[in-house]
Amino acid sequence: MEFLVRSENRLPVDTPADRREELRAGERARAMELRAAGVLKRLWRVPGRNATIGLYEAADPAELHDALMSLPMAPWLDVTVEALATHPQERT
C-alpha cells in the first residue's frame, strides 16, 4: 500500500543546539535506511515550514506506523497519513 504522509516537526525551540543536531543526523540516517528498504519512496520539504511530505510504501498501516515511530524525531512530529488507492486510469 502507498501512503501520503505529511509531518510537521514540533521540536521545542529551546532544544539545545547539540541535541537538535544529534536528532537531525539520526533522522537523516534512519530516512536513508527506510529508503534503502523501499519504505520511503519520495520526500519533499514544505517551503517556509519545518514540514515534509513523503510517499511511503508499506504492507499495511501497522507497518507504516512502525516505520514512522522508528524516526528519532517521532515524539515531536505532528503526522497526517492518507492511504492511497490506484486510480482506474492508472490500471493497465
Residues 33-77 have pLDDT tens digits of 999 999 999 999 999 999 999 999 999 999 999 999 999 999 999
Confidence of residue 29 (pLDDT cuts 50, 70, 90): very high
The model's pTM: 0.90
Structural domain spans, the chain: 2-86
Helix residue ranges, H only, 1-92: 17-36, 61-69
* C-alpha grid cell, residue 28: 537523516
Q: Quick one: CATH architecture of 2-86?
A: 2-Layer Sandwich (3.30)
> How far, in Å, CA of 24 to CA of 51, rounded?
13
Three-state DSSP class for 88? helix
Confidence of residue 90 (pLDDT cuts 50, 70, 90): confident
The pLDDT value given to residue 92? 67
Beta bridge partners of 8: 51, 78
Residue 91 has pLDDT above 80, yes or no: no
Beta bridge partners of 57: 2
